[in-house]
């Protein structure tokens, strides 16, 4: 399409920023609309430095505000829906997560119909597929195996229902009589510079004499670099705009991984940090089955206390399962249908992420020096 316009929700987030950067390089794109609840001042400055001739409009608004969504979608050709609350530890109220992740998606789809948006790409999650048990082994899984999360925990449950709504919306009739095309991308665990989970772990380690928590050494996963996930979104746009490809892609979901080596979560974090002197805790860890039953007892305590006190267990069965499963997936279907292949090699991704870790270590050391003077 010539002269098309794209809206990205969750544009100020870890992935959303990368998608904006890659969109800025696309020819024939007239406008990028970046929607988020709030943009940090430094991000506004970063976006303003993007070297492109494309109009970049930053919109602050709530995904649950119908009027805001209608305005955001007006004149838009493509929507990339990244906005989501990610919570694997149960820190956020269930109702809040369900509203943003599910209701927000439904409202956005309705706004797209009213505004005649032709393409809707949903950033889903690997957790839509599982894992359901730490004893189950899934290696190089693929879309035809129909893995589905059985957890009622708010995050995976909300993402599963939202993805289902998006894929069912494919073929909806737009207000002008056109047709809505949808697809969903399920990235593996996303890593890279700016990852908030990495940031928290590294800061905790720096506060603890450089000792990383060995929280998930029994897992086997294939993390994916943030730049490659962003690139998959760009290719999905192109594929859904291509008359020769669109019929095979609409209403489909795709696992997005890359050539990052398969590792445990713990070992993977260590690879990114070891150059800077961070290391594992050498003490013995609790066996997974024992972690699971401790988590179960803590959940019972939480349930019993709920009428009088909101107790958040430090460990849940979902978190234990997520952190200790063999759960890896292939990107062959995305390669076949979307023409996807990683934009960044493992070596490039590791270098970029490792250097970012180094910047955090240096900031920590400088802060300690300032305190001592």
* pLDDT of the residue at 51: 63
Asked whether residue 350 is assigned to any structural domain, the reply reads no
Q: What is the pLDDT of residues 47-97, one digit of tens each?
A: 877 766 788 999 999 999 999 999 999 999 999 999 999 998 888 999 999
Asked whether residue 324 is assigned to any structural domain, the reply reads no
Asked whether residue 170 is assigned to any structural domain, the reply reads yes
Determine contact, residues 118/78, Cβ cutoff 8 Å. yes
User: Edge to edge, what strands does the sheet with 78-81 contain?
Assistant: 55-60, 29-36, 4-9, 78-81, 119-123, 181-187, 252-256
* pLDDT of the residue at 9: 98
Total of domains in the chain: 1
* pLDDT of the residue at 261: 96
**Active-site residue (options: 122, 134, 155, 254):** 155
Asked whether residue 279 is assigned to any structural domain, the reply reads no
Per-residue CA distances from 51 to 2, 96, 184, 272, 297 (Å): 20, 37, 29, 30, 54
Asked whether residue 295 is assigned to any structural domain, the reply reads no
Q: b or e along 194-218 (b: 16 or more beta carbons within 10 Å of the residue's beta carbon)?
A: ebeebeebbeebbeeeebbebbbbb
* pLDDT of the residue at 2: 63
Asked whether residue 315 is assigned to any structural domain, the reply reads no
Dihedral sign from CA coordinates of 162, 168, 174, 175: negative
Range of the domain at 77: 4-194+223-260+329-343
> Residue 264: pLDDT above 80?
yes
Catalytic site residue 155? yes
Chain mean pLDDT for the chain? 93
Measured torsion, CA atoms of residues 168, 329, 317, 166, in degrees rounded to the nearest 10: -10
**What's the mean pLDDT in 282-289?**
81
Could you tell me the CATH number of the domain that includes residue 83?
A: 3.40.50.720
> Residue 1: pLDDT above 60?
no
Burial class (CB in 10 A: 0-12, 13-18, 19+), 185: buried
Q: What is the pLDDT of residues 191-239, one digit of tens each?
A: 999 998 888 888 888 888 888 877 788 899 999 999 999 999 999 999 9
Asked whether residue 112 is assigned to any structural domain, the reply reads yes
Q: What is the pLDDT of residues 290-324, one digit of tens each?
A: 999 999 999 999 999 989 998 899 899 999 999 99
* pLDDT of the residue at 367: 81
pTM, full prediction: 0.95
pLDDT > 90 fraction of the chain, expressed in percent and rounded: 78
Q: In this predicted structure, which of 18-32, 193-207, 248-262, 316-330 has the lowest mean pLDDT?
A: 193-207
* pLDDT of the residue at 281: 76
Asked whether residue 123 is assigned to any structural domain, the reply reads yes
């Amino acid at each position: 399409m010539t002269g098309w316009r794209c809206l990205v929700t969750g544009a100020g987030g870890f992935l959303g920023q990368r998608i904006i950067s890659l969109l800025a390089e696309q020819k024939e794109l007239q406008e990028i609309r970046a929607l988020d609840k709030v943009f940090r001042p430094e991000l506004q400055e970063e976006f303003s430095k993007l070297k492109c001739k494309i109009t970049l409009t930053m919109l602050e608004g709530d995904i649950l505000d119908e009027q805001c969504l209608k305005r955001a979608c007006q004149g838009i050709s493509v929507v990339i829906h990244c906005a989501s609350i990610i919570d694997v530890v149960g820190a956020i109220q269930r109702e809040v997560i369900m509203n943003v992740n599910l209701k927000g998606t439904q409202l956005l789809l309705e706004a797209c119909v009213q505004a005649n948006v032709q393409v809707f790409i949903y950033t889903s999650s690997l957790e839509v597929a599982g894992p359901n048990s730490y004893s189950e082994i899934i290696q190089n899984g693929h879309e035809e195996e129909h893995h589905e999360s059985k957890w009622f925990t708010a995050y995976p449950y909300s993402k599963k229902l939202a993805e289902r709504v998006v894929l069912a919306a494919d073929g909806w009739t737009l207000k002008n009589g056109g047709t809505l095309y949808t697809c969903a991308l399920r990235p593996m665990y996303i890593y890279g510079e700016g990852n908030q989970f990495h940031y928290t772990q590294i800061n905790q380690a720096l506060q603890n004499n450089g000792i990383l928590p060995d929280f998930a050494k029994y897992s086997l996963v294939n993390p994916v670099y943030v730049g490659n996930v962003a690139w998959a979104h760009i290719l999905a746009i192109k594929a859904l705009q291509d008359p020769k490809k669109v019929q095979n892609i609409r209403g489909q979901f795709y696992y997005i991984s890359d050539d990052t080596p398969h590792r445990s979560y713990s070992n993977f974090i260590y690879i990114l940090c070891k150059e800077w002197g961070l290391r594992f805790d050498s003490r013995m860890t609790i066996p997974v089955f024992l972690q699971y039953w401790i988590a179960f007892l803590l959940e019972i305590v939480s349930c019993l206390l709920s009428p009088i006190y909101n107790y958040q267990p430090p460990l849940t069965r979902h978190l234990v399962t997520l952190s200790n499963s063999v759960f890896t997936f292939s990107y062959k279907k995305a390669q076949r249908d979307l023409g996807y292949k990683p934009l960044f090699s493992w070596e490039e991704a590791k270098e970029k992420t490792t250097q970012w870790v180094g910047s955090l270590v240096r900031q920590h050391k400088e802060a300690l020096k300032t305190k001592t003077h």
